[in-house]
Amino acid sequence: MITRGIVYICIATFAFAWMNIFAKYLEDFHPLQVVFFRAFGSFALIFPYMLANKISLKGNNPKLLFLRAFLGLLSLSTFFVAIQQMPLGSAISIRYIGPIFGSGLAVYFLKEKISVMQWLSFIIAFAGVLILKGFDPRIPLSGFFMVLTSAFFLGGIFVLIRYLGSREHFLTIIYYFMVVSILGSLFFLPYWRMPIGTEWLPVIAIGALGTIGQVYMTKAFQLEETSVLAPFKYMELIYALVIGFFLFGEKYNLIVLLGMGLIIIGMLTNVYWKAKKNE
């Protein structure tokens, strides 16, 4: 049965896929300027809505909200650096292992336990990552390091959202992320240049699509269990592979596609075993 949560997650992944495509298209811009485009567009859309609906801007946990926002800035920045250096599908695939780092951090900070089957799932996913790095010569060491760094910070974000989710309005969490990203990106003003001509289309689209993706992703996880939504979340990779082929001519051999498949299998089985453990 196709539920509203599934529809929302499909909308979110489609929006994120196109956002990443446009971010890659803007490879002539400094990555932090692309972060600014992403953040300012979302800020311009949600800030008036929050004021009109009297949604708290400060929140109840400002220090943790700031930390989540700062990790988001680091994760998004390093990801945008990575996609400017390597194929989009490979970057997205490797970033999917963020929940593995999140699980490790949750063991330390939230005292959660990881089952043996979850460890097996992590090994499968990491095997996929190693296959990608070993058999896709278009992945430079610097880009590989950047996307792994992005995945690590993404794992930290998952842990913080798990804690903040029931304590803060989701727009307050997004608002902090946008403000910190805007302020952080301003440190790179010397590298900035104004968009010209058709460059304005991806600039505007990045902010709008990022907002659509975040809102619908949040609404989806409010309506459905993670185990139900997880398979649909990875549709983002399918979109990126198809769009990347037609727009950038990105092609992948069977071994690289196998690596991507192992990452997805590892992450899906992790969700399954985690759900079984919590039954």
Which of 268, 223, 264 shows the shortest CA–CA distance to 7? 223
Mean pLDDT of the chain: 92
Which of 103-107, 185-189, 267-271, 272-276: highest mean pLDDT?
A: 267-271
Average pLDDT over residues 205-215: 92
In the structure encoding, which two tokens stand for residue 254, read together? 């069977």
Q: What band does 199 get if pLDDT is binned at 50, 70 and 90?
A: very high
Residue 48 confidence (pLDDT) above 80: yes
Q: Which residues 6+ apart lie within 8 Å of 118 measured at CB?
A: 103, 270, 273, 274, 277
Residue 258 confidence (pLDDT) above 90: yes
Task: Report helix, strand or coil for 5.
Answer: helix
Which of 17, 7, 9 shows the shortest CA–CA distance to 236? 17
Looking at residue 111, its pLDDT comes to 82
Task: Report helix, strand or coil for 111.
Answer: coil
Average pLDDT over residues 32-59: 95
Looking at residue 265, its pLDDT comes to 96
Query: Is residue 204 within 8 Å of residue 39, measured between CB atoms?
Result: no
Q: Is 197 exposed, middle or buried (0-12, 13-18, 19+ CB in 10 A)?
A: exposed
Give the DSSP letter string of 205-235.
HHHHHHHHHHHHHHHHHHHS-HHHHHHHHTH
Q: Is 23 exposed, middle or buried (0-12, 13-18, 19+ CB in 10 A)?
A: buried
Q: Which residue has the tokens 């097996």?
A: 120
Average pLDDT over residues 22-48: 93
Q: What band does 223 get if pLDDT is binned at 50, 70 and 90?
A: confident
Percentage of residues of the chain with pLDDT beyond 90 = 75
Residue 279 confidence (pLDDT) above 70: no
Looking at residue 107, its pLDDT comes to 87
Q: Which residues 6+ apart lie within 8 Å of 187 measured at CB?
A: 32
The model's pLDDT over 53-85, given as tens digits with 9 standing for 90+, comes to 999 999 999 999 999 999 999 999 999 999 999
